[in-house]
Amino acid sequence: MDTSLSSSLMIFLLLSAFILVSRRVHKKFSSSNNGLTTYPFIGCLISFYKNRTRLLDWFTLLLTESPTHTIVLHRFGAPRTIITANPVNVEYILKTHFANFPKGKPFTEILGDFLGRGIFNVDGGLWHAQRKLASHEFTTKSLREFLVSILREEMEKRLFPILELAMDTGRVIDLQELLGRFTFDTVCKLSLGHDPCFLEEGAPPPLLAEAFDVASAISARRGAAPVFAVWKIKRALSIGSERQLKEAIQQIHVAVQEMIHDKKMISDGEDLLSRLIKSGLDDDVIRDMAISFIMAGKDTTSAAMTWLFWLLSRHPDVEQELVNEISELVKGTGGSIGYAELKELRLLKASLCESMRLYPPVAWDSKHAVADDKLPDGTIVRRGDRVTYFPYGMGRMEALWGKDRLEFRPDRWLDTEVGGLKKVSPFKFPVFQAGPRVCLGKEMAFIQMNYVMASILKRFRLRPVRSDQPMFVPLLTAHMAGGFKVQVCSRDSSSLPSSGPPQHQMTQGF
């Protein structure tokens, strides 16, 4: 029997048995937690299973209805889970009581096979050592300059020719897929000093890229599984998706270990792998850190840019303002964009922040309580609880962003009095985390996104071939279901397809 069918049958049988028992005692023992009905033994497993394809919107609705913007989930087969969209709670979890909310064994078990002992999947002393080393490297001017040189080469030699060919031939392209290939080449060059040539026209997908896609997708499904025991059994038996995961991870390990070996034969290099080797860390730790860096940069920036390009296609007025900002900035530079110019693109950065508020590359993130605790809103935390903060839902809270929270309004980030961006609490907008584990690559991410967005907007207009609302799909990194198909036109062309009137109200989710 097909293993996926066997898994579904197993879940069905478990649910049927528990539903039968629960119905008999429902009237007497069922309870409600902020509108979330739970049952004896199975908790909210039935509701969770029914809403498994729309968890983001379901959680957002429950959080909106909760007076504290926090809910508690009890379900069979998973730890007790607290989900919050309350910034005060988020600050408490990520900063104030940081030591009590590490990633924890349940989280590291889900991603442990894939990310190993890399910086994004460890706690304690090993995390501190890696964090200190990575923090130094990410703040060096030489690494920023190296990134800009990589971006310039990728744009001029690979991305622009593809866009120009699509423009000349009228071919429809999948912008999400194209940007994903671009960012994979970029992050591999920056992290490994290796060019996978993923963006080369006509080249087959590199095995490393395919293995990363498989590993990240299956690892994400582990975290969203209604009953964790199912994937654990499949892993123990090495069947179905867990066997695929094992094979993909083996491919990744072999490829990265070969690169480490080759790098040791070279005396110097500007990439992160060369810098890690100089630190004297164990090869397995270097490998896992490199894998973590690739995973962090592979799809996050491409996802953010994809959603912003889509939003701009719905708001041509904002797109024109961005083009004006870019054009004005590069007047005195001969049309070139460098690191100094990138820092001055305030409206572009505001637009990226607004896009990530509505469509965060990482929709949620979880920690696990070491000891009993209590959140500032009064929610009781028990040792071992999974505690999740929820950027997707936070971006849709009227209490945080006002009645126009569902609208795309980059100006909400601009401080007109001082001429810069407003200072927004990272605990209100935690798309880069916050506190001691705040994303080290945040500045590098904005460098990449500003450079790519500005370079494309300056030369091209991209128009979607479909007018319907795309679906936001959360995996380890969220993406647009079905891709983002566009036609490419010259920015200077006078015969451009109409994008229609601005669409101010969002229709996806809440």
> What confidence tens digit (pLDDT) does each residue in 331-342 have?
867 667 878 888
* 412 within some domain: yes
Tell me which H or E stretch contains 386.
Answer: strand 386-389
d(CA 237, CA 229): 12
Angle subtended by helix axes 442-459 and 346-358, to nearest 10: 110
Alpha helices, DSSP H, located in 194-266: 207-224, 228-237, 240-263
**What does the pLDDT read at residue 33?**
52
The answer for residues whose C-beta is within 8 angstroms of residue 472's C-beta and 6 or more apart is 56, 359, 363, 392, 478, 480, 481, 508, 509
**What does the pLDDT read at residue 15?**
52
The answer for residues whose C-beta is within 8 angstroms of residue 21's C-beta and 6 or more apart is 40, 41
144 against 312, higher pLDDT: 312
- The pair phi, psi for residue 32, each rounded to 5°, is -125, 135
Give the SS3 label for residue 414.
Answer: strand
Average pLDDT, the chain: 86
**What does the pLDDT read at residue 32?**
46
* 166 within some domain: yes
**What does the pLDDT read at residue 501?**
39
Average pLDDT for 286-292: 93
**What does the pLDDT read at residue 26?**
41
* 259 within some domain: yes
- The pair phi, psi for residue 54, each rounded to 5°, is -140, 45
d(CA 125, CA 147): 29
d(CA 434, CA 143): 23
CATH code of residue 160: 1.10.630.10
- Name the residue range of residue 281's domain: 130-490
Q: Would the pLDDT of 3 be above 70?
A: no
Q: Would the pLDDT of 21 be above 50?
A: no
The answer for residues whose C-beta is within 8 angstroms of residue 183's C-beta and 6 or more apart is 297, 298, 299, 301, 302, 448
**What does the pLDDT read at residue 141?**
86
Q: How many domains does the chain have?
A: 1
Q: Would the pLDDT of 509 be above 70?
A: no
- The pair phi, psi for residue 457, each rounded to 5°, is -60, -30
The per-residue pLDDT for range 177-202, each reduced to its tens digit, is 999 999 999 999 999 999 999 998 77
Output the CA torsion sign for 47, 53, 55, 57: negative
The per-residue pLDDT for range 415-426, each reduced to its tens digit, is 988 878 999 999
505 against 155, higher pLDDT: 155
* 121 within some domain: no
Q: Would the pLDDT of 172 be above 60?
A: yes
**What does the pLDDT read at residue 508?**
45
- pLDDT-derived band at 8, boundaries 50, 70, 90: low
